[in-house]
Amino acid sequence: MTVDGKALDAEDFTGVLEQLRSEQHDLKDQKKKLARELRNAQRRRQRLRAKAKELSSEDLVSVLLMRQQGQTRRQARQDASAAELSASAADENAKASPLAEAEVEGNAEDR
């Protein structure tokens, strides 16, 4: 028998079979895990829908407003941290710049 254009003897063939069985086992485990995750997500969705049916329209509107406010706060924090990072990077560049210039001037004086 040949695999990928190579002739296989009995030992190689056994090794290939074991590798394929191992891969098959791993794929079955992965399939079970994904099926379990899908089933849990569907159950979670059903629970949320059942709870949402019990809420009034006013409650739903307040939940949506809370979500919007939370999203706005998260975005503001991300923007602030990004601005802080860029400011600190600019400060680092400003600090490094005089040192680099002093080294260049010192090297020029040695010549």
Task: Identify each DSSP E strand in 1-111 by its residue range.
Answer: 2-3, 6-7
pLDDT of 111 over the 70 cut: no
Count how many domains the chain has: 1
Query: 0.75 exceeded by the pTM?
Result: no
Structural domain boundaries enclosing 82:
2-110
pLDDT of 6 over the 80 cut: no
Q: What is the pLDDT of residues 31-86, one digit of tens each?
A: 999 999 999 999 999 999 999 889 898 998 999 999 999 999 999 999 988 888 88
Q: Is the pLDDT higher at 38 or at 98?
A: 38
Confidence of residue 25 (pLDDT cuts 50, 70, 90): very high
Closest CA to 108 of 70, 48, 43, 100: 100
